[in-house]
Chain A
Amino acid sequence: MAALMIVPIILASLDNVGKKNIAVIDETNWFLGRFENADNMQFHYVFESVDSVKSQVLNGKYDLLLYVPQPTLNVPVNAEIYSNRQIPMTTASYISNTMSKEVETKKLLASGIDPNIIKSAKTAINLVTFRLDEDGASKKSFTAVNVALGLVSSILIYFFIFIFGSQVMRGVIEEKTSRIVEVIVSSVRPFELMLGKITGIALVGLTQFLLWVILTAGIYGLFTLFYNPAQIPEAQMNAGAMMQQTNPVMDGMNQEAVLKVFEVVEAINFKVIILSFLFYFIGGYLLYAALFAAIGSAVDSEADTQQFMLPVSLPLILGLVISNFIVNNPDGALAFWLSIIPFTSPVVMMVRIPFGVPYDELILSMSLLIVGFLFTTWFAGKIYRTGILMYGKKVTYRELWKWMKY
């Protein structure tokens, strides 16, 4: 995980060697001197023919040619870039941004408006959201952050349930196919064997998760200590360009960034989020692991699991897909019901929690989840007990129903 975050930055910085020499042929003369040189870009204003500069690009004297032809109308809106290699997005966007700014300024001047007036008129509005508590107290909340937290944690729970649930299933199938199950079952009851397996893998999962969190935080922390990201303009520009596209809120915050970050962090109710995450992670896992164990016991090989996997994983998938809509309406009816029903609640409730959920709803959801996994464990136990000693039969739902009654 740490590698996922660090490697792209390192790769981007490595790529940063080499300045791009950009030849500019401006037939309009509007943009002379307007492009600013930077660490990775050097603009050269040339007055040769297009073809001769093109060949200079080919033989390496220049990396790019920016050609602004004489416009058919008054205002230049078209330009062409020639290069023998792919043009970086950031360079292209810098050029087009600069050009459009220039054209806008000139248009304003031509209409008699001083561009400086426009500039000083631009204001970044600082929108702060407060959430009213039942006691009437208000707490700051940041929508964007909550959305991110909610989605990320629900995706994590979704993946963990699948990964560890599948491990349970595979373990059951392995015991069945290696035939060791009969020896074990002469010493312990099948139900105990199933529970032991589910618990064991749960502990493995928790340990892995904790290690993952600790290592990621540790490595990333060390990395930022030694390797100052500020030295990498390309990476920052990438980050900045991305952020500008997805998050207009961040635009006006650059100056007070540090203070803001602290405010944001303080506004997040970490205790509730982390505790809920752990609870829904474990609860959701227990609920689904039992079902996965049942599926494993009913089949003879992993290939046969497909027909049962779909109905079992459907609520989870549904929950995740609908989460995207729930982030926009965390208090609506759909969100409420899906966060209460134990089959979808692990995924959906986590989306709601950063926005704050009334305690009675939270308790209801948690109790139902507990009831849910007790039920699926009991149900799975019945199927497991018969399935692990049954070989060769093609299992259908009818067959499973029979096993329930044994």
Chain B
Amino acid sequence: MRTFLSVNEVTKKYANHLAINNLSLQVPENSIYGLLGPNGAGKTSLIRIINQITAPDKGSILLNGEVLSPEHISRIGYLPEERGLYKKMKVGEQALYLARLKGMPKNIARQKLLYWFEKFEIENWWNRKVEELSKGMQQKIQFIVTILHQPELLIFDEPFSGFDPINVNLLKEEILKLREQGATIIFSTHNMASVEELCDHIALINNGNKILEGTVNEIREAHRTHTFECEIKQPVDSIKQDLEQLSVTLNKFVRKADNSVRITITSDAESSGNQLIKKLLPLGELSDFKELLPSMNDIFIAQVSATNIKTDSHE
């Protein structure tokens, strides 16, 4: 997996606050890379450094092997979390202006804008002032302007905030399409559900430090809690006894209509899924069995709390 963007030992300090502490990341080419972390973790600081809005105190960033320089600006698209538009300006005119700031020639920008406006069904708004638009429409325009110049690297900071479910869906489809067309996408969010849906890789940052990095599956498996869910045709009470003997913890059970019970169990670390099935088979008819991998949400909470406890105990 080729690395498209590499962040190498970047440090950034603001007055008394260490925003980024010796952080290194590798964003693989053509992936959707989730940048996760609580508020104040340093995500936005890092994103600003990648966009060359601020410069790191130490460390470097390489884009496709080249040191980050002003000519890369036209190859990056950025949708910030706090986003806005000039209220009194006309929509079409403003979209053109922002596209040209990224280096697109005027007529090409205009053509492409018209295409996207029609696609998002906002072509009627070309000559209206931005303040006449609803928030959702403004955000559509911001999204269009971000991707218009077909950048190789796209950075979305909380792209879904403020969108209704239909538009969230629209956006998700577009992001997946962009990946198909070859873009590399960095995606910073708190919306863990979208992380699981969209991201291949993630990195978790807290207090300026990297806590986790890897593919979503790797991380989920690395944090497995050996929790399984299955359905067995047996009365609950006898199940309870049997499970105790097998040194399997019963977390939850739900009685089902046909005398079977749906149980959530945690086994010891040594038993693999297959081994557990073998242990359970004698207990009764097994009609469903799956491992419950922790959700990104759970991992996030667990990891962030753990690191916060560590730093608290240091102080």
B15 & A184 in contact (Cβ 8 Å cutoff): no
A182 & B80 in contact (Cβ 8 Å cutoff): yes
User: Residue A183 contacts which of B48, B76, B78 (CB distance < 8 angstroms)?
Assistant: B78
- Which among A70-78, A185-193, A211-219, A244-252 touches the partner chain? A185-193
User: Residue B83 contacts which of A174, A179, A185, A389 (CB distance < 8 angstroms)?
Assistant: A179
Q: Is B31 an interface residue (CB 8 A)?
A: no
A188–B73 alpha-carbon span in the complex (Å): 9
Q: Is A242 an interface residue (CB 8 A)?
A: no
B102 & A180 in contact (Cβ 8 Å cutoff): no
Q: Which residues of B contact A184 (CB under 8 A)?
A: 98, 101
A180–B142 alpha-carbon span in the complex (Å): 10
The 0/1 profile, CB within 8 Å of A marked 1, for residues 128-144 of chain B is: 00000000000000100
A185–B73 alpha-carbon span in the complex (Å): 11
Interface size, B (range): 20 to 34
- Nearest A residue to B55 by beta-carbon distance? A406
Interface core residue of B73, B76, B84 (most chain A CB under 10 Å): B84
Q: Is A122 an interface residue (CB 8 A)?
A: no
**How distant is B157 from chain A, measured CB to nearest CB, in Å?**
9
> CB within 8 Å of A: which of B37-83?
48, 51-53, 73, 76, 78, 80, 82-83
A188 & B101 in contact (Cβ 8 Å cutoff): yes
B53 & A180 in contact (Cβ 8 Å cutoff): no
- Listed by A's residue number, 12 A-B pairs whose Cβ atoms lie within 8 Å are A178-B84, A179-B80, A179-B82, A180-B85, A182-B80, A182-B83, A184-B98, A186-B51, A186-B76, A187-B101, A188-B101, A402-B15
Q: Is B240 an interface residue (CB 8 A)?
A: no
Q: Which residues of A contact B145 (CB under 8 A)?
A: 183
> CB within 8 Å of B: which of A150-206?
174-175, 177-180, 182-188
- Top 4 closest pairs, chain A to chain B, by CB: A179-B84, A178-B84, A187-B101, A182-B80
A183–B130 alpha-carbon span in the complex (Å): 16
Q: Is B87 an interface residue (CB 8 A)?
A: yes
A185 & B86 in contact (Cβ 8 Å cutoff): no
B83 & A183 in contact (Cβ 8 Å cutoff): yes
- Nearest B residue to A187 by beta-carbon distance? B101
**How distant is A260 from chain B, measured CB to nearest CB, in Å?**
52
A184-B98, A187-B102, A389-B48 given; name 9 further pairs at CB < 8 Å.
A179-B80, A180-B83, A182-B53, A182-B83, A185-B53, A186-B51, A186-B53, A389-B53, A402-B15
Interface core residue of A174, A177, A186, A402 (most chain B CB under 10 Å): A186
> CB within 8 Å of A: which of B82-111?
82-87, 98, 101-102
Q: Which residues of B contact A175 (CB under 8 A)?
A: 86
- Nearest A residue to B73 by beta-carbon distance? A187
Q: Which residues of B contact A178 (CB under 8 A)?
A: 84-87
**How distant is A180 from chain B, measured CB to nearest CB, in Å?**
4
A174–B48 alpha-carbon span in the complex (Å): 21
**How distant is B50 from chain A, measured CB to nearest CB, in Å?**
10
Q: Which residues of A contact B52 (CB under 8 A)?
A: 186
A175–B84 alpha-carbon span in the complex (Å): 9
A183 & B80 in contact (Cβ 8 Å cutoff): yes
Q: Which residues of B contact A179 (CB under 8 A)?
A: 80, 82-84
- Nearest B residue to A180 by beta-carbon distance? B84
A283–B199 alpha-carbon span in the complex (Å): 54
Q: Which residues of B contact A180 (CB under 8 A)?
A: 83-86
A182–B51 alpha-carbon span in the complex (Å): 10
**How distant is A389 from chain B, measured CB to nearest CB, in Å?**
7
Q: Which residues of A contact B101 (CB under 8 A)?
A: 184, 187-188
Q: Which residues of B contact A177 (CB under 8 A)?
A: 84
**How distant is B19 from chain A, measured CB to nearest CB, in Å?**
13
**How distant is B196 from chain A, measured CB to nearest CB, in Å?**
28
The 0/1 profile, CB within 8 Å of A marked 1, for residues 15-40 of chain B is: 10000000000000000000000000
A95–B169 alpha-carbon span in the complex (Å): 89
**How distant is B217 from chain A, measured CB to nearest CB, in Å?**
32
A178–B89 alpha-carbon span in the complex (Å): 12
Q: Which residues of A contact B82 (CB under 8 A)?
A: 179, 182
